[in-house]
Amino acid sequence: MKRFFLLPLLLSACDVPRLEAPAPRYPTKLFGAPFSLRPGQRLDASELVERLGRLQYMATGLPSSPGTYRKDLNSVEIYLRGFSRPIYGAGPARATAVFEEGILLALKDTSGADLPDARLEPELIYEFTGPERVRREPSRFERLPRHLLDAVVAVEDRRFYHHWGVDLRGTLRAAWHDLRARRVLEGGSTITQQLARGLYLSPKRTFWRKLRETGLAFGLEARYSKDDILRLYLDQVYFGQDGPVSVCGVQAAARFFFDKQPEQLSLGESALLVALLASPYQFNPFRDPDRALARRRVVLALMREQGFITPSQEQAARLEPVRVSRAAHQPARPADFFVASVQEELERRYPGQALVTYGMSIYTTLDPWLQERAQRAVSRAKFEAALVALDPATGAVRALVGGKDYAAHPFNRATAARRQPGSAFKPFVYGAALRAAGPQGRRWTPATFVPDKPERYPADGRSWTPRNYDGLYRGMTTVRQALALSLNAPTVHIASELGTRRVIDYARALGIKSDLRSDLGVALGSSELSLFELTAAYTPFADEGLKAEPYSIEGVVGADGDVLEYRVPRSPAAVISPEEAWLVTELLRGVVRGGTARTLSRWGLENVAAGKTGTTNDGKDAWFVGYVPGLVCGVWTGQDIPTRSSMTGASHALPIWADFISAAAPSAREWQDPWPKPAGVVEATLDPVSGLVAVAGCPTRVTEYFLPNTAPTKSCPLHFSGVVGWLKRMLKR
């Protein structure tokens, strides 16, 4: 059966090596984003020196070679190493950064001429494999349990024992899918083809690579037995990560996940290992036991359908609990949650072995310096916590922390957990109100008066009365005060007049994709969202109404230097006007200056930050989402199993946010005008009692801001101007 008239030709064309030992592996490296230096940016010399130290630049008396620098009193002279990455790069160059009061005042070249910018090279943040970073132990085929081998065949290649390396049916099916999609997709590969691809080929998806893969598969089948091919496949296949160590091969995987030898594995444990092959990150039982169990059920069902096990064996294995061992776990590192998120994304684009075989370079958006400070802030939380930091102008993920300890609990609470955001959702209600007309065409403005009193609303055949968190009602209050103090009664009143459809449409426009309730509870954040999603939806407020889709991967380069993919810069979409974005920001600054987030003054951030607290019923979840120029950050804190507590956004989430922002932007307190007012915003002086234009006799005045054609034009009728006003005030005395 192994003799075929084309095999000698295929063998000579593909030059199949002998496979007594696993082929060499090349590390896949993850890099952070290059750090840009630009005149005028908020940056002090100490931060720059710290960043240089992370890149192992050496302090010297005279920077005479790449990788050296010298710090003087108000300047840092650097000999930049240069770097290359998709789309752009930079060669070695010398630059002097001049500082003044927390600002990078100028960049100079060796001649003293001004430079527009300079970039530090990307920092290496992770290697999926490399020298002494692969945990692999050769297995003895005769000791591998039959049900493990059957599970692999059932899931990966049901006709493994009946083809010569290529399954024509699977190949035709994959080719049809390729033609329909008009691009090369993974699919239809046999175990032999997967082995050939993992050992000898690059991840670049081309028809020529597929042809070489086919020839290599025929060559392997001609030279080795089915048992040899299956053993080699199981010895080299990738099962996941233990910190910086790649777990490859069934022997190492059995020890890592179950602390057993492969021959000791039960049917359920074998099925769970095979379940990992589809996505070592997605079905990791440490990270998501429920998803791992669901995939195990699929494996067992396939084994039963193909006659490898009986229905009773399937049922017994389905009932086996997942007992995984944590003894071998490596210590967590600051970027582990981000790396795991990138790994999940890469597994959707490349075959599972690519991360430990092909020597790719992955260029990401992460700022490792910010990431370290984010992890540090989260680690000090009293409960579980998560943090997301985004560049609002580009959508680049600058820091992401999914929990306090990745090694102990690798579940990513920043992206995967979905909780009610409570009052952190309210900016979408007030933003929708500012841009829409109310009853009889009335426009809501920051100065509009809203009733703050108990009101009944129909809800599921009954009535519902929203209550303020503090139990107090103020009779009438302005839109500005209602948001600053996070009052529930006025918020629901606005939503009832506005209509929930407008609130939902506004939230959708800013990026909320999750299901939203269509009742008035949506105004108080009753719909479950992820922290990542909510934080991203705040970015248009921070960037003049522009919405950039969040992303983590800039580009991927193969070991041979070929660019496998890169992200083409996209222009952000205008979802609200610059005036609307500024006005919402102004209201959220009111939350910080005198509302529920006023404790930010302890960190000196009251004049530069905008944001909103959020607390759910019974204190189960606490949120704070806010921003300073150039950085939007969201924080959630709570417990994995929602439990009643005394947490609030102001007392638990806000301090984490403030610790991070204070460390991430140490010169933020020095901003004089962080949010310049657009020309279209109208400024007016009002009487706070009437809400109308103040006259000379008004005893107190406030400055308020309005969108075009919404400012009040009538004068205050409660007070008199000139002599009459003076006489009236005298009589009152």
Q: Which backbone phi and psi does 621 adopt, to 5 degrees?
A: -135, 140
What string of DSSP letters covers 5-25? TTHHHHHHHHTPPP-SSPPP-
Burial class of residue 449 in the structure, from the number of CB atoms within 10 Å of its CB (0-12 exposed, 13-18 middle, 19+ buried): middle
CB neighbours (10 Å) of residue 454? Answer: 11
CB neighbours (10 Å) of residue 306? Answer: 13
d(CA 424, CA 588): 11
Type of residue found at 548:
A
What does the longest C-alpha to C-alpha distance in the chain come to? 116
Q: Where is 611: in which H helix or E strand?
A: strand 610-615
d(CA 610, CA 387): 17
**Upper half-sphere CA count for residue 726 (Cβ side, 13 Å):** 2
d(CA 558, CA 552): 18
What string of DSSP letters covers 168-234? HHHHHHHHHHHHHHTS-------HHHHHHHHHH--S---HHHHHHHHHHHHHHHHHS-HHHHHHHHH
Here the tokens at position 189 are 């590969």
Angle between helices 426-435 and 488-498 (to 10 degrees): 40
d(CA 733, CA 719): 15
d(CA 306, CA 153): 10
Angle between helices 250-258 and 267-276 (to 10 degrees): 110
Separation in Å, CA 731 to CA 337, 668, 684, 718, 724: 69, 49, 29, 15, 11
Type of residue found at 360:
M
d(CA 33, CA 552): 10
Separation in Å, CA 721 to CA 685, 691, 696, 733: 15, 16, 5, 17
Q: Contact, 588 vs 608, CB < 8 A?
A: no
For residue 249, give the 3-state DSSP assignment: coil
**Residues that are catalytic:** 156, 423
Type of residue found at 560:
D
d(CA 34, CA 38): 13
d(CA 279, CA 376): 30
d(CA 347, CA 278): 9
Q: Contact, 403 vs 384, CB < 8 A?
A: yes
d(CA 591, CA 726): 36
What string of DSSP letters covers 285-337? TTT-HHHHHHHHHHHHHHHHHTTSS-HHHHHHHHT-------TTPPPP-TTHH
d(CA 108, CA 116): 9
